Amino acid sequence: MDIKTVGVIGAGQMGNGIAHVMALAGYDVTLNDLSQDALTAALAKIEKNMVRQVSRNLITEADMQAGLARISPALDVAALGTADLVIESATENEDIKNKIIEGIVPHLPEHTIITSNTSSISITRLAARTDRPEKFMGFHFMNPVPLMQLVELIRGIATDDETYQSCLAVVEKLGKTAASAEDFPAFIVNRILIPMINEACYTLYEGVGNVASIDNAMKLGANHPMGPLELADFIGLDTCLAIMNVLHDGLADTKYRPCPLLTKYVAAGWLGRKTGRGFYDYRGDVPVPTR
Protein backbone atom coordinates (compact mmCIF):
# COMPACT_ATOMS: atom_id res chain seq x y z
CA MET A 1 0.00 0.00 0.00
CA ASP A 2 1.22 3.49 -0.85
CA ILE A 3 1.17 5.31 2.50
CA LYS A 4 0.62 9.06 2.28
CA THR A 5 -0.93 10.06 5.62
CA VAL A 6 0.31 9.12 9.09
CA GLY A 7 -1.33 9.40 12.50
CA VAL A 8 0.90 9.54 15.57
CA ILE A 9 -0.68 8.93 18.99
CA GLY A 10 1.22 10.54 21.86
CA ALA A 11 3.04 13.87 21.66
CA GLY A 12 5.82 13.03 24.12
CA GLN A 13 9.52 12.60 23.43
CA MET A 14 9.10 9.71 20.99
CA GLY A 15 5.85 10.86 19.41
CA ASN A 16 7.08 14.33 18.53
CA GLY A 17 10.27 12.83 17.09
CA ILE A 18 8.27 10.45 14.91
CA ALA A 19 6.02 13.28 13.70
CA HIS A 20 9.16 15.33 12.95
CA VAL A 21 10.81 12.74 10.68
CA MET A 22 7.55 11.72 9.00
CA ALA A 23 6.73 15.33 8.10
CA LEU A 24 10.22 15.99 6.70
CA ALA A 25 9.89 12.84 4.57
CA GLY A 26 6.74 14.25 2.94
CA TYR A 27 3.97 12.53 4.89
CA ASP A 28 0.94 14.46 6.11
CA VAL A 29 0.93 13.89 9.87
CA THR A 30 -1.86 14.10 12.44
CA LEU A 31 -0.31 14.30 15.92
CA ASN A 32 -2.81 13.25 18.58
CA ASP A 33 -2.67 13.66 22.35
CA LEU A 34 -5.17 14.06 25.20
CA SER A 35 -3.42 17.21 26.39
CA GLN A 36 -3.38 20.54 24.55
CA ASP A 37 -0.32 21.52 26.58
CA ALA A 38 1.48 18.39 25.37
CA LEU A 39 0.60 19.18 21.75
CA THR A 40 1.75 22.79 22.09
CA ALA A 41 5.03 21.69 23.68
CA ALA A 42 5.55 19.03 21.00
CA LEU A 43 5.12 21.48 18.13
CA ALA A 44 7.55 23.89 19.79
CA LYS A 45 10.08 21.07 20.28
CA ILE A 46 9.74 19.94 16.66
CA GLU A 47 10.33 23.47 15.40
CA LYS A 48 13.32 23.92 17.73
CA ASN A 49 14.88 20.67 16.51
CA MET A 50 14.27 21.57 12.86
CA VAL A 51 15.88 24.98 13.39
CA ARG A 52 18.92 23.12 14.75
CA GLN A 53 18.97 20.94 11.63
CA VAL A 54 18.83 24.06 9.42
CA SER A 55 21.75 25.61 11.34
CA ARG A 56 23.78 22.46 10.67
CA ASN A 57 22.86 22.45 6.97
CA LEU A 58 21.08 19.10 7.34
CA ILE A 59 17.85 20.53 5.90
CA THR A 60 16.93 23.82 4.23
CA GLU A 61 14.67 26.56 5.58
CA ALA A 62 12.16 25.55 2.89
CA ASP A 63 12.29 21.92 4.08
CA MET A 64 11.56 23.06 7.61
CA GLN A 65 8.62 25.26 6.67
CA ALA A 66 7.11 22.55 4.48
CA GLY A 67 7.60 19.94 7.21
CA LEU A 68 5.98 22.06 9.91
CA ALA A 69 3.03 22.76 7.61
CA ARG A 70 2.41 19.02 7.22
CA ILE A 71 1.82 18.46 10.97
CA SER A 72 -1.73 18.89 12.28
CA PRO A 73 -2.31 18.63 16.05
CA ALA A 74 -5.51 16.93 17.23
CA LEU A 75 -7.12 16.25 20.60
CA ASP A 76 -9.79 13.94 19.14
CA VAL A 77 -8.72 10.46 17.98
CA ALA A 78 -11.40 10.65 15.29
CA ALA A 79 -9.00 12.94 13.42
CA LEU A 80 -6.88 9.85 12.73
CA GLY A 81 -9.63 8.51 10.48
CA THR A 82 -7.83 9.75 7.34
CA ALA A 83 -4.54 8.01 8.17
CA ASP A 84 -3.10 5.21 6.05
CA LEU A 85 -0.70 4.36 8.89
CA VAL A 86 -1.17 4.88 12.63
CA ILE A 87 1.77 4.74 15.05
CA GLU A 88 0.85 4.44 18.73
CA SER A 89 3.59 6.03 20.82
CA ALA A 90 2.17 6.28 24.33
CA THR A 91 3.92 5.33 27.57
CA GLU A 92 5.38 1.81 27.87
CA ASN A 93 2.39 0.31 29.68
CA GLU A 94 0.38 -2.51 28.11
CA ASP A 95 -2.96 -1.58 29.70
CA ILE A 96 -2.67 2.01 28.45
CA LYS A 97 -1.67 0.86 24.97
CA ASN A 98 -4.58 -1.59 24.84
CA LYS A 99 -7.09 1.12 25.73
CA ILE A 100 -5.66 3.47 23.09
CA ILE A 101 -5.63 0.82 20.39
CA GLU A 102 -9.18 -0.33 21.18
CA GLY A 103 -10.30 3.31 21.16
CA ILE A 104 -8.96 4.16 17.71
CA VAL A 105 -10.11 1.07 15.79
CA PRO A 106 -13.73 2.28 15.29
CA HIS A 107 -12.44 5.47 13.63
CA LEU A 108 -10.15 3.83 11.08
CA PRO A 109 -10.95 2.66 7.53
CA GLU A 110 -10.28 -0.98 6.66
CA HIS A 111 -7.03 -0.29 4.81
CA THR A 112 -5.28 1.50 7.72
CA ILE A 113 -2.21 -0.20 9.14
CA ILE A 114 -1.92 0.07 12.94
CA THR A 115 1.51 -0.06 14.55
CA SER A 116 3.01 0.40 18.00
CA ASN A 117 6.28 2.08 18.92
CA THR A 118 6.53 -0.25 21.93
CA SER A 119 10.08 -1.13 22.94
CA SER A 120 9.25 -4.44 24.61
CA ILE A 121 5.54 -5.44 24.69
CA SER A 122 4.14 -8.37 22.69
CA ILE A 123 2.94 -7.27 19.25
CA THR A 124 0.75 -10.37 19.02
CA ARG A 125 -1.11 -9.44 22.22
CA LEU A 126 -1.58 -5.81 21.16
CA ALA A 127 -2.78 -6.91 17.70
CA ALA A 128 -5.39 -9.17 19.27
CA ARG A 129 -7.16 -6.03 20.57
CA THR A 130 -7.91 -4.93 17.01
CA ASP A 131 -10.16 -6.02 14.16
CA ARG A 132 -7.11 -6.39 11.86
CA PRO A 133 -4.23 -8.35 13.45
CA GLU A 134 -2.87 -9.02 9.96
CA LYS A 135 -2.44 -5.24 9.52
CA PHE A 136 -0.73 -4.69 12.88
CA MET A 137 3.00 -4.69 13.67
CA GLY A 138 5.71 -3.17 15.81
CA PHE A 139 7.32 0.03 14.50
CA HIS A 140 10.02 0.75 17.09
CA PHE A 141 12.03 3.95 16.64
CA MET A 142 15.17 4.70 18.64
CA ASN A 143 15.56 7.84 20.76
CA PRO A 144 16.24 10.59 19.69
CA VAL A 145 14.23 9.78 16.57
CA PRO A 146 15.64 12.46 14.22
CA LEU A 147 19.21 11.32 14.90
CA MET A 148 19.03 7.54 15.29
CA GLN A 149 19.21 5.51 12.10
CA LEU A 150 17.55 2.26 13.19
CA VAL A 151 13.90 1.22 13.20
CA GLU A 152 12.93 -2.23 14.48
CA LEU A 153 10.07 -3.80 12.52
CA ILE A 154 8.37 -6.54 14.53
CA ARG A 155 5.80 -8.92 13.08
CA GLY A 156 3.11 -10.40 15.29
CA ILE A 157 1.99 -13.95 14.65
CA ALA A 158 -0.71 -12.72 12.24
CA THR A 159 1.11 -9.84 10.49
CA ASP A 160 0.92 -10.31 6.71
CA ASP A 161 3.71 -9.61 4.24
CA GLU A 162 1.90 -6.68 2.59
CA THR A 163 1.85 -4.86 5.93
CA TYR A 164 5.53 -5.57 6.53
CA GLN A 165 6.52 -4.38 3.04
CA SER A 166 4.46 -1.20 3.39
CA CYS A 167 6.16 -0.35 6.70
CA LEU A 168 9.57 -1.24 5.28
CA ALA A 169 8.97 1.21 2.43
CA VAL A 170 8.20 3.95 4.98
CA VAL A 171 11.44 3.27 6.85
CA GLU A 172 13.39 3.50 3.59
CA LYS A 173 11.65 6.78 2.65
CA LEU A 174 12.70 8.17 6.04
CA GLY A 175 16.31 7.38 5.11
CA LYS A 176 16.61 4.98 8.03
CA THR A 177 17.56 1.30 8.24
CA ALA A 178 15.15 -1.44 9.29
CA ALA A 179 16.04 -4.41 11.51
CA SER A 180 13.46 -7.19 11.34
CA ALA A 181 12.74 -8.78 14.71
CA GLU A 182 10.57 -11.65 15.85
CA ASP A 183 7.90 -11.05 18.48
CA PHE A 184 9.74 -12.00 21.66
CA PRO A 185 9.99 -9.81 24.79
CA ALA A 186 12.04 -6.62 24.15
CA PHE A 187 12.86 -7.68 20.55
CA ILE A 188 16.54 -7.12 19.57
CA VAL A 189 17.91 -3.80 20.83
CA ASN A 190 16.39 -3.79 24.31
CA ARG A 191 16.84 -7.55 24.77
CA ILE A 192 20.58 -6.82 24.69
CA LEU A 193 20.81 -3.21 25.92
CA ILE A 194 18.54 -3.13 28.98
CA PRO A 195 20.02 -6.23 30.70
CA MET A 196 23.43 -4.58 30.25
CA ILE A 197 22.11 -1.49 32.02
CA ASN A 198 20.57 -3.70 34.71
CA GLU A 199 23.94 -5.41 35.19
CA ALA A 200 25.57 -1.98 35.58
CA CYS A 201 22.99 -1.29 38.31
CA TYR A 202 23.99 -4.53 40.05
CA THR A 203 27.66 -3.55 39.73
CA LEU A 204 26.83 -0.31 41.52
CA TYR A 205 24.50 -2.04 44.03
CA GLU A 206 27.17 -4.56 45.01
CA GLY A 207 29.85 -1.88 45.43
CA VAL A 208 32.08 -3.10 42.62
CA GLY A 209 32.38 0.48 41.40
CA ASN A 210 30.75 3.86 41.83
CA VAL A 211 28.69 5.67 39.18
CA ALA A 212 31.67 7.52 37.68
CA SER A 213 33.98 4.50 37.56
CA ILE A 214 31.32 2.25 35.97
CA ASP A 215 30.48 4.78 33.27
CA ASN A 216 34.10 5.69 32.58
CA ALA A 217 35.04 2.01 32.41
CA MET A 218 32.51 1.37 29.66
CA LYS A 219 33.18 4.61 27.78
CA LEU A 220 36.96 4.26 27.79
CA GLY A 221 37.27 0.48 28.05
CA ALA A 222 34.53 -0.59 25.64
CA ASN A 223 34.34 2.61 23.52
CA HIS A 224 30.68 3.21 24.34
CA PRO A 225 29.60 6.81 23.60
CA MET A 226 27.68 6.94 26.91
CA GLY A 227 28.18 4.96 30.09
CA PRO A 228 25.35 2.53 30.98
CA LEU A 229 24.15 4.53 34.00
CA GLU A 230 24.26 7.81 32.07
CA LEU A 231 22.31 6.07 29.29
CA ALA A 232 19.77 4.73 31.80
CA ASP A 233 19.15 8.30 32.99
CA PHE A 234 18.69 9.38 29.37
CA ILE A 235 16.20 6.58 28.61
CA GLY A 236 14.36 6.97 31.93
CA LEU A 237 14.82 4.57 34.84
CA ASP A 238 11.08 3.81 34.87
CA THR A 239 11.30 2.69 31.24
CA CYS A 240 14.37 0.54 31.99
CA LEU A 241 12.55 -1.10 34.90
CA ALA A 242 9.41 -1.67 32.83
CA ILE A 243 11.42 -3.43 30.13
CA MET A 244 13.27 -5.58 32.68
CA ASN A 245 9.90 -6.61 34.11
CA VAL A 246 8.64 -7.52 30.63
CA LEU A 247 11.76 -9.66 30.10
CA HIS A 248 11.51 -11.28 33.52
CA ASP A 249 7.79 -12.02 33.20
CA GLY A 250 7.89 -13.03 29.55
CA LEU A 251 10.95 -15.30 29.62
CA ALA A 252 10.72 -16.58 33.23
CA ASP A 253 14.50 -16.52 33.61
CA THR A 254 16.12 -15.20 36.80
CA LYS A 255 18.93 -13.58 34.81
CA TYR A 256 16.39 -10.87 33.92
CA ARG A 257 15.58 -10.06 37.57
CA PRO A 258 15.48 -6.24 37.95
CA CYS A 259 18.19 -4.87 40.24
CA PRO A 260 16.74 -3.76 43.63
CA LEU A 261 18.67 -0.50 43.35
CA LEU A 262 16.97 0.30 40.04
CA THR A 263 13.61 -0.43 41.67
CA LYS A 264 14.51 1.85 44.61
CA TYR A 265 15.43 4.78 42.35
CA VAL A 266 12.13 4.44 40.47
CA ALA A 267 10.19 4.24 43.76
CA ALA A 268 11.90 7.47 44.85
CA GLY A 269 10.85 9.19 41.63
CA TRP A 270 14.49 9.58 40.60
CA LEU A 271 13.85 8.63 36.97
CA GLY A 272 16.83 10.31 35.33
CA ARG A 273 17.12 13.44 33.22
CA LYS A 274 13.38 14.01 32.92
CA THR A 275 12.96 14.40 36.70
CA GLY A 276 16.32 16.09 37.41
CA ARG A 277 17.78 13.16 39.35
CA GLY A 278 18.69 9.58 38.66
CA PHE A 279 22.13 8.03 38.83
CA TYR A 280 23.23 11.63 38.30
CA ASP A 281 21.86 14.86 39.77
CA TYR A 282 21.07 17.26 36.92
CA ARG A 283 19.86 20.21 38.98
CA GLY A 284 23.17 22.09 38.77
CA ASP A 285 25.29 23.23 35.86
CA VAL A 286 27.14 19.91 35.68
CA PRO A 287 25.65 16.43 36.31
CA VAL A 288 26.91 15.01 39.63
CA PRO A 289 26.86 11.25 40.46
CA THR A 290 24.40 10.38 43.21
CA ARG A 291 26.52 7.43 44.35
Segment 127-151 mean pLDDT: 96
**CATH class given for the domain over 189-289:** mainly alpha
Overall average pLDDT of the 143-152 stretch: 95
pLDDT at 66: 98
Backbone angles phi, psi at 227, to 5 degrees: -70, 160
Domain boundaries, the chain: 5-182, 189-289
pLDDT in tens, 23-55: 999 999 999 999 999 999 999 999 999 999 999
Q: Which of 32, 120, 140, 198 is catalytic?
A: 140
Catalytic residue among 120, 190, 198, 230: 190
HSE-CB of 97 using CA atoms within 13 angstroms: 26
Q: Report pLDDT digits (tens) over 188-215.
A: 999 999 999 999 999 999 999 999 999 9
Whether the pLDDT of residue 288 is over 90: the answer is yes
Binding annotation for NAD(+): 10-15, 33, 92, 97, 119, 143, 274
Binding-site residues: 10-15, 33, 92, 97, 119, 143, 274
Report whether CATH 3.40.50.970 matches the domain 5-182. no
Round the average pLDDT of the chain to a whole number and report it.
96
What is the distance between the alpha carbons of residues 243 and 120, in angstroms, rounded to a whole number? 6
Summarised one tens digit per residue, pLDDT across range 162-188 is 999 999 999 999 999 999 999 999 999
Confidence of residue 269 (pLDDT cuts 50, 70, 90): very high
Output the pLDDT for position 263.
98
190 annotated active-site: yes
Is residue 111 annotated as a catalytic residue, yes or no?
no
- Asked if pLDDT for residue 244 goes beyond 80, the answer is yes
Task: Report whether pLDDT(92) > 90.
Answer: no
Enumerate long-range contacts of 110-113, CB under 8 Å, 24 or more apart.
Answer: 111/1, 111/84, 111/135, 112/83, 112/84, 112/85, 112/86, 113/1, 113/3, 113/84, 113/85, 113/86, 113/137, 113/163, 113/166, 113/167
Average pLDDT (150-171) is 97
Catalytic residue among 16, 89, 119, 198: 119
pTM of the model: 0.89
20 annotated active-site: no
Q: Say yes or no to pLDDT of 1 above 90.
A: no
Say whether 140 is catalytic. yes
